[in-house]
Chain A
Amino acid sequence: MQQTFVQPEFRVRIDYDKCHKCGRCVQQCGWGVYDFAERPIPHDEKCRACHRCVTYCPAHCITIEKNALAFRENDNWSTNLVKGVWKQADTGGVLLTSMGNPRPYERIFDKLVLDACQVTNPSIDPLREPMELRTYLGRKPDAVQVESDGNGGFRLAEGGGMTNNLKLDTPIIFSPMSYGSVSLNVHRSLAMAAERLGILMNTGEGGLHEDLYPYQDHAILQVASGRFGLNPEVLGRAAALEIKIGQGAKPGIGGHLPGEKIDREVSATRMIPQGSDAISPAPHHDIYSIEDLRQLIYAIKEASGYKPVGVKIAAVHNVAAIASGIVRAGADYVYLDGFRGGTGAAPAVIRDHIGIPVEVAIAAVDQRLRDEGIRNQASIIAAGSIRSSADAAKAIALGADVVAIGTAALLALGCHLCQSCHTGKCSWGITTQKPELTRRIDPEWGAERLTNLVHAWSHELQEILGALGVNAVESLRGSRERLRSIGLDEHTCRVLGVKPAGM
């Protein structure tokens, strides 16, 4: 057989003077990088730079380096493009990858800065004064109905138009990741953390495993085109239902969970046979229009006792008009997933070249819904690379009610962004179903790390709100006056509704 032209991306260096020859690297590596013959022998071509071996090497004697093979300089043909051509000439295959779009498109969040109070109005110290992060997800009434409480005060009238809202203790929730793409221990970690944090996790389209039933009031169940793991019983269990139309990492295309990831438990949760591919069609074939979407929204409401139903879409060119249709179709929230959102598997050409940044999508949708007088009818969830509490605050200032985190949550569980989820061999036990790997995540440990992360971001959000001189996250929502841009062009600023710094 001909030698492939694609050379290893990384070099695994072992300092054999320090090496204990304990073989732990061999045991830790899910990619099969190491052989052992008196000492570990690395096969560079298998290394994904996930640092599992590095982290667990007791002698700290492993380093992973970039394979710095020189090519003649060429700004047009990047090394990645060249390697892609070679790989496709080898295989004839669609290049498959995972996690979010890594390409150097402009990062709008990094060009936005927040305001703070100085002299003319006081900032607030959130450690010693009330600072409200509570957020209600769902349709709000056109007018609040109140009634007398009989003691000279008032209370929200029965229902008051708020009955179908979900109460969140902080405006940060976990984004949809299916059991199948991630392991059950990841799902358990997310569910336990969601309960402790008073927020929500999202099952993705793989169904709700019975181990998660105790946390069902904190789970959103997805209804995706493959209709996996859905029956009236689980519809009745989940806190809310979400129609997944699209995903930021792969707008407009469906999914294939490969047969080797469908073991007994995944098969039981998805209610499909073991070992056969789980194919999600690109569209829902009962939704070809906004009217059809309304039909499915109300089908789910009818079957679930009128629980909140959200609609998740990828941020694409006409996102504002689409979102308006979704709200008019009766959705309780619109979930906008930007083009940097993660995935367990996507063709690289789709991930890297389709969709728009979530920042502009939030601003465009929020503005459109306000202009049409229907902003109160649905909440906006924003995702697709919320990397920090600063991104969260900026997303909320642009008009989101809630942000969802997926990649950040996986990072908390050990993900090193090696972009290899689709292989099913994740050494960190996150995106794999191999029992020897999945047991690396203890749900209790995972839940604690996720809880820590969201607590930390929530504290930071409170600090940001304090600096802005407001005492509730509601006061920041859609308050673009509190944002300024640095170095963004005029058109983008206009879409964002944000002034340049200094104005």
Chain B
Amino acid sequence: MIKAAVSVPPAGVIEGYRQVAPVIEREGDAATVDTTGVYFQQLNDAIRRLVADGVTTVRVTGANGQRYIGAGLRVPGVRIEVHGTAGNDTAMFMDGAEVEVFGNAQDGVGNTMSSGRVIVHGDAGDVLGYGMRGGRVFVQGDVGYRVGIHMKAYEKHVPVVVCGGKARDFFGEYMAGGVLVLLGVNTHFPEQPLVGGFTGAGMHGGVMYVRGTVEPWQCGAEVGITEACEEDLGVLRPLVEEYAEAFGEDAEAIMDGPFVRIAPVSHRPYAKLYASM
């Protein structure tokens, strides 16, 4: 038998972080974890233990960039509240749980996520939703570069990312499935374009909706821009309503649009690139 036993990795001394367990206060099936200055391994270990012990709401306080909060969590119905800044790869590989961040989130939110929901009351960084295959991510404000990269759908699993602000270059790059929405309503950059360049570069599945105008020069060669039709608005409405509910906004005002639809012109963009030897 080849078996990899679970072990706690050797603890190195990380400057500014304590290699100690966080302070936990438990009340019934809820728990508060004070993670001020605690390293990510001890924090996430504590979350996993609490969830295994039947806790359904974990309130993480004092978060200051600790990585992987909720990573790989496979327990539906579990809710993690993060107060502070959620670190890189928040909810990575997550399958079924919910993470709500009261603050900003760093890079890689929802990376390769399977299902569940993430809500960020703030801005989020780069590569949000990389390879995401299900679940929903809502960001109130702006997002970084390469957001929604390589999202993919499979049968009933359709990932959704809704960003309330603006996005940088390569929005929806390589996208293979799912729905990626950009609203442009809550932004720190009112003077800047909604999206950067290379939007949808390499896109070969799924759909993007952007509230406002996107010019062809902002897009990759693999996508086309059209006005969102009734059917598109039917897809959008429940997502916008969920966004508005999460952040206390006016769904109808957002739905006033106008929205454009950005979608691939082919699901096999490179079929003619090669000559067989």
The chain B residue sitting closest to A347, CB to CB, is B274
The reply to whether A422 and B276 contact each other, CB–CB distance below 8 Å, is yes
Using CB atoms and an 8 Å cutoff, list the residues of chain B in contact with chain A.
Answer: 1-9, 40-41, 44, 67-68, 71-74, 88-89, 92-95, 107-108, 111-112, 114, 127, 130-131, 133, 146, 149-150, 152-154, 157, 173-174, 176-177, 202, 204-205, 267-277
Q: How large is the interface on A (under 10, 10 to 19, 20 to 34, 35 or more residues)?
A: 35 or more
Report chain A residues within 8 Å CB of B176.
272-273, 276, 279
A54 to chain B, nearest CB (A): 22
9 nearest interchain CB pairs? A303-B72, A227-B131, A93-B275, A96-B274, A91-B275, A276-B267, A303-B93, A163-B5, A231-B114
A296–B3 Cα gap in the complex (Å)? 22
The reply to whether A277 and B268 contact each other, CB–CB distance below 8 Å, is yes
A95 at the interface (CB under 8 A from B): yes
| Also in contact, A275 and B267, with CB within 8 A (given A94-B275, A167-B2, A217-B2) | yes
The reply to whether A218 and B133 contact each other, CB–CB distance below 8 Å, is no
A301 at the interface (CB under 8 A from B): yes
The reply to whether B7 and A299 contact each other, CB–CB distance below 8 Å, is no
Report chain A residues within 8 Å CB of B2.
166-168, 198, 200, 217-218, 239
Tell me which of A114-122, A304-312, A452-460 binds B: A304-312
A295–B41 Cα gap in the complex (Å)? 12
The reply to whether A232 and B204 contact each other, CB–CB distance below 8 Å, is no
| Also in contact, A96 and B93, with CB within 8 A (given A230-B112, A275-B267, A302-B68) | no
A271–B67 Cα gap in the complex (Å)? 26
The reply to whether A279 and B93 contact each other, CB–CB distance below 8 Å, is no
The reply to whether A299 and B133 contact each other, CB–CB distance below 8 Å, is no
Residue pairs across A and B with CB atoms within 8 Å: the count is 177
Between-chain CB contacts (< 8 Å), 17 pairs: A84-B277, A95-B274, A167-B2, A232-B95, A272-B176, A279-B204, A281-B150, A286-B107, A295-B108, A298-B68, A299-B68, A299-B71, A299-B111, A302-B41, A302-B68, A302-B71, A306-B9
Residues facing B in A91-105 (CB within 8 A) are 91-97
B135 to chain A, nearest CB (A): 11
A292 to chain B, nearest CB (A): 9
Using CB atoms and an 8 Å cutoff, list the residues of chain A in contact with chain B.
Answer: 84, 87-88, 90-97, 159, 163-168, 198, 200, 217-218, 225-227, 230-233, 235, 239-240, 256, 258-259, 267-268, 271-273, 275-277, 279, 281, 285-286, 295-296, 298-308, 330, 347-348, 419-420, 422-423
A88–B276 Cα gap in the complex (Å)? 10
A190 to chain B, nearest CB (A): 15
A87–B94 Cα gap in the complex (Å)? 48
The reply to whether B275 and A299 contact each other, CB–CB distance below 8 Å, is no
The reply to whether A231 and B268 contact each other, CB–CB distance below 8 Å, is no
Report chain B residues within 8 Å CB of A279.
150, 174, 176, 202, 204, 270
The reply to whether A299 and B93 contact each other, CB–CB distance below 8 Å, is yes
The reply to whether B277 and A419 contact each other, CB–CB distance below 8 Å, is yes
Report chain A residues within 8 Å CB of B6.
163, 305-306
The reply to whether A277 and B275 contact each other, CB–CB distance below 8 Å, is no
The reply to whether B95 and A231 contact each other, CB–CB distance below 8 Å, is yes
B255 to chain A, nearest CB (A): 29
The reply to whether A271 and B133 contact each other, CB–CB distance below 8 Å, is yes
Q: Which of B3, B67, B68, B276 sits near A96, CB closer than 8 Å?
A: B276
The chain A residue sitting closest to B269, CB to CB, is A277
B58 to chain A, nearest CB (A): 15
The reply to whether A93 and B71 contact each other, CB–CB distance below 8 Å, is no
The reply to whether B152 and A272 contact each other, CB–CB distance below 8 Å, is yes
| Also in contact, A232 and B7, with CB within 8 A (given A271-B133, A272-B154, A299-B111) | no
Q: Which of B5, B130, B267 sits near A277, CB closer than 8 Å?
A: B267
The reply to whether B111 and A286 contact each other, CB–CB distance below 8 Å, is yes
A256–B7 Cα gap in the complex (Å)? 37
Report chain A residues within 8 Å CB of B133.
227, 231, 271
The reply to whether A232 and B72 contact each other, CB–CB distance below 8 Å, is yes
The reply to whether B154 and A94 contact each other, CB–CB distance below 8 Å, is no
The chain B residue sitting closest to A301, CB to CB, is B9
The reply to whether B5 and A230 contact each other, CB–CB distance below 8 Å, is no
The reply to whether A306 and B8 contact each other, CB–CB distance below 8 Å, is yes
A298–B39 Cα gap in the complex (Å)? 13
Report chain A residues within 8 Å CB of B153.
273
The reply to whether B205 and A273 contact each other, CB–CB distance below 8 Å, is yes
